[in-house]
Amino acid sequence: MNILLNVVLLLVGFVALIKGADFFVEGSAAVAKKLHVPGVIIGLTIVAMGTSAPELAVSISAGLTGSNEIAISNVIGSNIFNLIVVLGVCAVMAPVAVDKSIMKRDFPFSIAITLLLAVFISDMILTGKSVITDTQARAGGISRWEALIFIILFAVYILITVRSAIKNRQTQQEEIEDMSGIKCAVYILGGIAAVVIGGQLVVNSAKTIALACHMTETLVGLTIVAMGTSLPELVTSVVAAKKGQNGMAAGNIIGSNIFNILLILGVSAFIHPIPVITESLYDTVILIGLSIIIYIFAATGDKIERKEGIAMIGAYILYMIYAVSRGMGWI
């Protein structure tokens, strides 16, 4: 009965996260429009950050409550899910074209910052310690100084992206509703409240479920929490694919993964430094390997074919078997 209640609370938390992020984006975009902020900047900043709000709320809540394994595994798990499930599903529906600018700038940058994350969480690299064989042992952590580096890189990335979009006249406008000042305030404050409450519900219920089912917090973060917080990216990409706009999927997913590492982990670790166990280092290395493979897929023919999408989904199933077996202590 206790598990069932926490499953319900987990689902309520996910709904609050997603709807809260939507309200926050709509209210913030309306304010930006009143201030005559160009649509391209609204799309690349406010709207993009809104899709990462669930991960941000969960990671901050987890860090503040001492659930560091959920904080880091949520981000790594979300990035793996985005990269090979969301992008894989879109490729199965129709081949995904990858823009040349993404291949030259965004995708390599995403791989580079994932490598940087591996360096930050690895004592082996930073202090020369030997390999830790116990996956539950602490591998290292993300300090406030390292978090600050992430935040600075995020600011630079946003600046370069906005300048590039304006230079290339990528003025695809978001449909932004005109709102009164009071309605804007209600949407923004209500959205923030829903995201904060939803984040706390997800973290607390996930911890209870993990304890009751004898699962590690890392496993819950990589699976249930990561999938739940990645729902906005999944829905957005599938809807775009149905409309024949499959080319948008790669940009949205790579951008979201960059946001997750630089903004989510940066802000979370700056508020509360995050110690990391060796399991998370292994998962980060897996993420790097998968990123390189997907980059090769995209580089051959400038698109990801349907057969490659099927292989990506199959790879996620294999990864889940490994993660569950490891988390349950079977291997």
- Written as one letter, the residue type at 268 is S
Residue 254, pLDDT > 70, answer: yes
pLDDT averaged over the chain?
81
Return contacts of 157-160, CB within 8 angstroms, 24+ apart: 157/109, 157/258, 157/262, 158/44, 158/45, 160/105
Predicted local confidence at residue 162, as pLDDT: 79
The CATH number covering residue 147 comes to 1.20.1420.30
Residue 201, pLDDT > 50, answer: yes
Strand partners, 142: 274
Q: b/e string for 192-212 if b means 16 or more Cβ within 10 A?
A: bebbbbbbbbbbbbbbbbbee
Domain count of the fold of the chain: 1
Neighbours of 330 (CB within 10 A): 8
Residue carrying the six token digits 């304006």: 166
Neighbours of 53 (CB within 10 A): 27
Predicted local confidence at residue 287, as pLDDT: 96
Beta carbons within 8 Å of 261's beta carbon, 6+ residues apart: 75, 79, 110, 113, 114, 117, 150
Q: Is 151 exposed, middle or buried (0-12, 13-18, 19+ CB in 10 A)?
A: middle
* Residue 274 backbone dihedrals phi, psi, to 5 degrees: -110, 110
pLDDT tens sequence across 207-227: 788 778 878 878 888 888 888
Please, are residues 232 and 81 in contact by the beta-carbon 8 Å criterion?
no
Tokens for 4, please give them: 């069932």
Please, are residues 186 and 26 in contact by the beta-carbon 8 Å criterion?
no
Residue 318, pLDDT > 90, answer: yes
- Lowest mean pLDDT of 5-9, 230-234, 258-262, 303-307, name the range: 230-234
Residue 245, pLDDT > 70, answer: no
**Alpha-carbon gap, residue 18 to 199, rounded angstroms:** 10
Highest mean pLDDT among 126-135, 161-170, 272-281: 272-281
> Helix H segments across the chain?
2-34, 39-42, 48-51, 53-64, 68-81, 87-93, 100-101, 107-120, 123-126, 144-167, 181-212, 217-220, 226-229, 231-242, 247-259, 266-271, 278-299, 306-327
**Domain of 181, in residue numbers:** 2-327
- Lowest mean pLDDT of 36-50, 51-65, 171-185, 271-285, name the range: 36-50
Please, are residues 203 and 62 in contact by the beta-carbon 8 Å criterion?
yes
Q: Is 293 exposed, middle or buried (0-12, 13-18, 19+ CB in 10 A)?
A: middle
| Predicted model pTM | 0.82
Tokens for 269, please give them: 């670790």
Residue 250, pLDDT > 90, answer: no
Q: What is the mean pLDDT of residues 182-203?
A: 83
pLDDT tens sequence across 104-154: 888 999 999 999 999 988 854 455 443 444 444 455 678 889 999 999 999
Neighbours of 113 (CB within 10 A): 21
Residue carrying the six token digits 């503040």: 64
Packing angle between helix 53-64 and helix 181-212, nearest 10 degrees? 60
Instruction: Determine what percent of the chain is predicted with pLDDT higher than 90.
Output: 24
